[in-house]
Amino acid sequence: MAFTIDELNALTNTYILGQPTDIYFTTNALLMKLMNSKRTADGGKYVDCPLEHGAAHTGVYGNSTLIPTTKTETHNKAYFPWGGYFAAQTVDLTDRVQNNGEAAIVNLVAAKFGNMTKSIKRKMGAGIFLNDVVGGVQGFAGAAALFSTTTSTAYGGIKEDDVALWKANNSANATTGNFKGFQLIRAPGIVDTNTEGMPDLYITTQAIKDGFEASLQSLVRFQDNTLAGKGFTNVLFDGAPVVADLNQTTAYVDAYNTRMLEFVSHKDFDFTTPKWEADRTQPDIWTASIRWVGQLCCKHRKAHSRFTNVSAPA
């Protein structure tokens, strides 16, 4: 007897979803790092992200000091469009006829679900480098938007033409990807001299990452073990991991301060649980999907920098 849709959902829940495995964000170091502190949102027209862009009146104080009472604008907010990604798989009549017995169905479910998770990871891992808008549908307002030099185009609802402090940190200066070069790459993104004000993740190409590692003395090569445990080989620069990504553009190095970025998920679309459902017009075709809606939000644009003319050290 062919299996039923109830059996398929039961086996999915038991053999796949019941396993406490990390199935998301093992293809992009930035997304994986941000997932550790992700925020869920109830909804709204946009994803709001608070900004602190100014300082209070301050100074030395004594008997004759007049303390300023004029209002100082120190807080605002950026707002980002909701973005979304999906992955879907289908079981058709042929699958149902050819797969009999629990073991065969489990293998079918595992293959279909594994392909869905791999596909959505790959799509989101590539999308983080883009301003991912296709046919009017928004994905990530990713690195292409964060580092855009078009001053008249809004990022997070704010134009650089209107707020000078909202300028993207970009450099096309010829830079060598050795230790001294990474010091130059780090500098534009420093918003404070304490640890929290420094970039804590560098994403570049394999050639530049390997060249940077080779330029170090062997006794001072360390790695971030958390990232390494997830499959991201890396080498530390001043305590921050340098990671290669196949989606990164040749000669690029992006320096991120992940404390100034947020990964926000809509509470109702935070990687939805796949449930097999019958097609209304073709009842012998069953489809399941994973859906995510949210956005990558920036709290301080100057905390990140991009260098676009970096060469691997010889």
Beta strands 201-204 and 253-256, pairing class: antiparallel
Show pLDDT as tens, one digit a residue, over the chain (314 residues).
578 888 888 888 877 666 544 555 567 899 888 887 889 999 999 999 987 656 677 888 888 888 887 776 655 789 999 999 999 999 998 888 888 788 888 888 888 888 888 899 889 999 999 999 988 899 999 999 999 999 999 999 999 998 888 899 999 999 999 999 999 999 999 888 777 889 999 999 999 999 999 999 775 678 888 888 778 889 999 999 999 999 999 999 999 999 999 999 999 999 888 899 998 888 889 999 999 999 999 999 999 999 999 999 98
Closest CA to 293 of 7, 61, 9, 81: 81
What CATH number does the domain containing 126 carry? 3.90.1690
Look at residue 18 and tell me if it is in a domain.
no
Which residue range forms the structural domain that includes residue 187? 5-13+29-51+78-311
Cβ atoms of 246 and 204 within 8 Å: the answer is no
Q: Is the dihedral of CA 246, 295, 121, 153 positive or negative?
A: negative
DSSP conformational letter for 155: B
H-assigned helices in 40-192: 93-98, 102-127, 143-146, 179-186
Look at residue 68 and tell me if it is in a domain.
no
Look at residue 208 and tell me if it is in a domain.
yes
Q: How many CB atoms lie within 10 A of CB 223?
A: 16
DSSP conformational letter for 2: P
Look at residue 218 and tell me if it is in a domain.
yes
Number of domains composing the chain: 1
pTM: 0.88
301 backbone dihedrals φ, ψ, rounded to 5°: -65, -35
Look at residue 63 and tell me if it is in a domain.
no
Look at residue 211 and tell me if it is in a domain.
yes
